[in-house]
Amino acid sequence: MIKHRGALGGVLTLAVAIGVAAGALPAGAATAAPTVKRTAAQPAAITHDAQLRALMHRLTTADGAPGALLRTQNRHGTRVLTGGVADINSHAPVARDSRFRIGSMTKPFVATVVLQLVGEHHVALDAPVARYLPDLFRGHDAHDRQITVRQLLQHTSGLPDYLDVLDPAEILKDPLAHHDARDLVDLALARPRTSEPGEGWRYSNTNYLIAGMLIERVTRNPYGEEISRRIIKPLHLSQTSLPGDATTIAGPHPRGYVRPGEGAPLMDLTELNPSIAGASGEMISSADDLNRFLGALVGGRLLRPAQLGAMMQTRPTGDKGREYGLGLERKELTPCGGVYWGHGGDIFGYQTAGGATTRGSQATVMANVDPGGTDAQDDDMEAAVQTALCEGRPGWRP
């Protein structure tokens, strides 16, 4: 997962200030499920299934999530696993076709649209952002005017994360409030830069707020309309939307929870104005739609070869086995060898992770608590994606 925890990463980093405890467990939480050991007598398919079920059990017990969902797609077919509950009051189960907020998994959608504009010669990848948004850096350091479109998408711009400036208590105090993207960007621009443009990698949601503004300036349409026209409608992603200021989630969905203090009961934050995330993380989707999108993207159906190649040119992030391209992560498949491409996403109430291989496998997992799960929640979600993507591959080991 992204260390800065996706669309609300800075808020999660600062959440200690309001007592959000990463290690707090819901009442009645069980101990971690034992890791399933593979034996020579066990067929690989059964072992994969048992390992995935053990991970889902951990997510909804020891890791602290009320509910979880995993959907996998590969040449063997589709599998959906659910665990826990969608609602801690009614104890309703998690629906197999649940929608949920996807946080920073919005970023690959935004990056795809920008790269489509590059392929159409409306945007130059290595041109300064100031060419398209001349007012953005007016009055700021000359180095800001050298930041390129590529550097925005790859998090090498040196721009600080606007979420590092916000007080999380203020966000939680009025979660339905509207936030203007330009105002959020200006918060970041008032802070010192983390590096010179192109010199270092540092995840910053500010980059993608600006990428959304770039799409709007070039196309003269809201970035959400461009994502819908170019990606959602062609791929028939009927469970995917950009809600704007809408605070509810349409269709079947689990409630989204946060834990506002150590030992405190879960707080229902399903209703949220996602303009706090904007183009860095506002979208709603489902595991089915996300798998379809990632499969189409990695499979070359959304970008021309040159632009897909640019998206997959990665930079080290400082985490072993993880590199970042243009809105897309490259990660090692440690259980079976090889790599996969994907992203993670965190926003109040929901955590999501997903990935796809060039061999045609996809997997997406969701848990309906964020922040407030354990530190192990990230690792178990990552393990679920990797285990699912390794199904049927030689060399897999639990």
Q: Which amino acid is at 316?
A: P
Residue with tokens 């007598």: 41
Q: Which amino acid is at 198?
A: G
Backbone angles phi, psi at 316, to 5 degrees: -60, 145
Helix extents (H) in the chain:
9-14, 44-59, 106-119, 149-154, 168-173, 181-189, 206-219, 223-227, 287-298, 305-311, 376-389
Contact 368, 67 (CB under 8 A): yes
User: Which residues, 6+ apart, have CB-to-CB distance to 168 below 8 Å?
Assistant: 11, 14, 15, 17, 18, 20
Task: Please count the other Cβ atoms lying within 10 Å of the Cβ belonging to residue 320.
Answer: 8
Burial class of 26 by CB neighbour count within 10 A (0 to 12, 13 to 18, 19+)? buried
Which of 104, 157, 204, 361 is labelled catalytic? 104
Contact 217, 112 (CB under 8 A): no
Question: Does 104 participate in catalysis according to the annotation?
Answer: yes
Q: How far apart are CA 223 and CA 209, in angstroms?
A: 10
**Would you call 330 helix, strand, or coil by DSSP?**
strand
| 371 DSSP assignment | S
Q: Which of 92, 47, 86, 45 is nearest to 69 (CA)?
A: 86
Catalytic residues: 104
